[in-house]
Amino acid sequence: MMMKFINRLGIVSGLFVAVFGINVLANESQGFFLGADGGYGKTKIQQEEFDLNIKDKVSNFGLRAGYRLSPEHRAYIAYYHQSKIKDTDNIPVIVSGNVIANIPVESKYRAHRAVIGYDFTPKLSENIRGVLGAYGGYSFLNVNTESNFFGDIFSLPSAFDGLIYGAKMGFLYELGRVEVELGVKLEQIRYKTRDLKLSFDVGGTKTDVLNENIKPMQTTGGMYLGFNYKF
């Protein structure tokens, strides 16, 4: 009785393994993947009406999860964090229509992005594929502005949000379930209009230093290196 049970269990197990193996072979070109990538390049934040023109070098790091629809097509969602951008500028202090001083102001920018992307990965050789991709999503830019004037410290924390869209081009090297990706990215973010106000007290009198509408645009380009694990 025990031997019959063991034999039947062996037959069922064998059938399960065979069916599972056939299913894996049939779907080896599809499946989920998890990845990460980091990049380094240059960014520029501009606003013509406000005379804002910030240029800096930045790095970014992101995590992504996606699905391979076929060997040549894949889609993913990702989150990216950009390194801090610093800028120092002078803001004129206007009292009764007269400029009484120009005060140095330091601004710090930090960006977070959530995107959805698509990659076309045509085969170029045995283990190498090309990568042509496009992505879009939403970006959040946190801004903190600080200065010290006449011993009084004032600050202007603010936040911007807007749509991001970008493109990338590179190569994908396959090492079994692991993929190494190298290429370049170019992206642009158009932030929504925000009303920036800045004031401070001198001798109990409140003075408005800044009251402007600002709608910045950020452009970033550079190299990236990524890794994916296929399930």
Question: Which domains, ranges and CATH numbers included, belong to the chain?
Answer: 32-230 (2.40.160.20)
Under DSSP, the state recorded for 41 is E
156 vs 170, which has greater pLDDT?
Answer: 170
Which pLDDT score, from 0 to 100, does residue 171 have?
95
pTM: 0.69
Out of 44-48, 56-60, 97-101, 211-215, the most confident range is: 56-60
Give the pairing type, strands 128-149 and 31-47. unpaired
The confidence band for 160, taking pLDDT boundaries of 50, 70 and 90, is confident
| Joined tokens for residue 126 | 């045995």
Instruction: Say whether pLDDT at 1 is over 50.
Output: no
Instruction: Say whether pLDDT at 182 is over 90.
Output: yes
Rounded average pLDDT over 138-164: 70
* Cβ pair 103, 90 in contact under 8 A: yes
Rounded average pLDDT over 126-149: 84
Cα 168 from Cα 67, distance rounded (Å): 18
* Cβ pair 199, 206 in contact under 8 A: yes
The confidence band for 15, taking pLDDT boundaries of 50, 70 and 90, is very low
Summary count for the chain: helices (H), strands (E) = 1, 10
Q: Is 115 exposed, middle or buried (0-12, 13-18, 19+ CB in 10 A)?
A: buried
Q: Is 80 exposed, middle or buried (0-12, 13-18, 19+ CB in 10 A)?
A: buried
The confidence band for 77, taking pLDDT boundaries of 50, 70 and 90, is very high
- 212 φ, ψ to 5°? -135, 150
Rounded average pLDDT over 176-193: 90
109 vs 11, which has greater pLDDT?
Answer: 109
| Joined tokens for residue 158 | 């603010």
C-alpha pair distances (Å), 13 with each of 5, 129, 157: 12, 38, 63
